[in-house]
Amino acid sequence: MFKKIVKGIWNNIKIVLAAALIVGTFYYSYLYLSKVFITEDAYYNESFHNMPKDSIDILVLGSSHAQYSFVPSFAYQDSGLYSYVLGSACQAPKVSYEMLKEALKTQSPELVILEVYTTTPLSINCEGDVCFVLAQYQMRGQEKQNVINYLPEDKAETYRNEFLSNHNDWRTMEDLEKFKFDEEIDPQLGYITLQANLPPFNSWYPLMYDDLPEFSLEQEDIDGLNDVLNLCKENNIELLLYMMPMDGITAESQAALNEVWKWADENNLKYVDFIELSRSIDYRLRVHNDGAHSFSNGASVITDYLMNFVKDNYTFKNHQDDEELDEIYKRAIPGLTYSVFISEYNPIKYLSRLNNYPDTYVVSYNHYDHYLWGDLKDTMINMGLEGFNVDDNYYAVINNGKVVAYAYDALELDFDGHHFELSDKGYYFDNEWVYSYDSLSFMIYYDDYQSNFIKLIDTSSIWDIGYYYTYKPW
């Protein structure tokens, strides 16, 4: 009898173990194969999961407005801190909460910066289930399921069982090893570059309203904000909110945003409203973004402001320098600075970024043509260019922010395998005439000298007069 009881118990244990094995195999097969059978319109970025454990100081969450406005490489250049933009299209606070849970599996940031576009009525432009699907492709495990569960059940079931609908393809695959995922860290670090190609013929600041209607935030947005805040508190993480300037701001949207700021005040949180700041930082629609998403020059302005705000208001106790990460964060800086240099039409803004350009550029200044004055004069002096003064011509080759050589009459130099000649006659690079100029001009080299771009500055006029800007009527 005793043997029969023991045998029965053992058989039950084997059944339970077998069931657990089947369920586990099914579950982890789903997690792996759902990446193999990813839909073509989804973007899965494995880069975040390749970051070294506990290496990220600042985690940026939010919608595509976060992805286009915050540049981790520039943030690193400004502060030495490591950041990552774990954003997704129309990322609602409840999805940001799942993103944060996902991030905390491997990271312990000291600051979360949350972009809050989706708490306003502007988010009516979002495309429903696609937004949730794009978000869940950056997650693993239960968080992946949770985001899909926000969808109506009929749609959620479709995405949950995605790999099952492709089982025939799975069975005919000769070698799943070909689906090894990229183990590299993308130097963009979650940022998306958008470059302005031509100066706009119209620009304006975002609207601000005095008379606002009554507005109440959606309860699920309040719950999402509270969930993000509570998770931050549990993990000793500071939380900072921000909102981007954009077209289409209505009185209702501003009222919604004010409710978010009230929530922040009630919870002793800091926030940055770039709509309200747009005039003081001279951030204009169509100049710095396309009406919604920041161009690279606008992202530079936003990142600089946020990092100055962060340095003034937060202390980072656990930052650890990492030489390999330093190289990754530096890798994208030349290309991004080049993009800002091309896109930005306010010389003071792009010169402040060019000052720390980690590659080679040349500067030529002919003081007889136009004398430097005002803020532009102060910016040039503050760049710390060796030997520069406004009373003499100035020709220099700069590399990694340091003057390699300079002269007041003409400069001829062999450097880094290339030949430079600069004088009042123009530029000669590798014995080929490049460009003639007057007044003040800069030439930036990018991609191992295969690309270059010249910026000419009319020092006698205000920066935007020559581009025929007008202001959009209120």
Reported as a single tens digit per residue, the pLDDT across 2-40 is: 555 655 666 666 666 665 555 555 454 544 444 544 444
- Which residue type is seen at 40? E
> What six digits make up the tokens of 170?
């799975």
Q: Classify the C-alpha dihedral 463-465-466-469 as positive or negative.
A: positive
Maximal C-alpha separation, the chain: 110
pLDDT higher at 450 or 82: 82
| Continuous H helices in 426-465 | none
Q: Which of 42-56, 203-217, 391-405 has the lowest mean pLDDT?
A: 42-56
pLDDT of residue 473: 42
Reported as a single tens digit per residue, the pLDDT across 399-425 is: 988 999 999 999 999 999 999 999 988
- Which residue type is seen at 444? I
Share of the chain above pLDDT 90, in %: 50
**Residue positions counted in the chain:** 474
pLDDT higher at 181 or 384: 384
* Alpha carbon distance 34, 182 (integer Å): 16
89, 63 in Cβ contact below 8 A?
yes
Reported as a single tens digit per residue, the pLDDT across 111-160 is: 999 999 999 888 776 766 667 777 777 777 788 778 877 777 776 776 66
- Kindly state the DSSP code that residue 289 receives in the 8-state scheme: B
> What six digits make up the tokens of 432?
């080929």
pLDDT of residue 21: 58
Share of the chain above pLDDT 70, in %: 79
pLDDT of residue 367: 82
* Mean pLDDT, residues 462-468 taken together: 48
With a cut of 60, say whether residue 232 has pLDDT above it. yes
With a cut of 70, say whether residue 474 has pLDDT above it. no
CB count, 10 Å around CB of 450?
Answer: 7
Average pLDDT, the chain: 83
For the ranges 109-118, 244-253, 356-365, the maximum mean pLDDT occurs at 109-118
Reported as a single tens digit per residue, the pLDDT across 297-318 is: 999 999 999 999 999 999 999 9
Segment 377-385 long-range contacts (CB within 8 Å, at least 24 positions apart): 379/347, 379/348, 379/351, 379/352, 380/351, 380/440, 383/351, 383/355, 384/355
Three-class DSSP category at 180:
coil
> What six digits make up the tokens of 444?
């930036």
pTM of this structure: 0.84
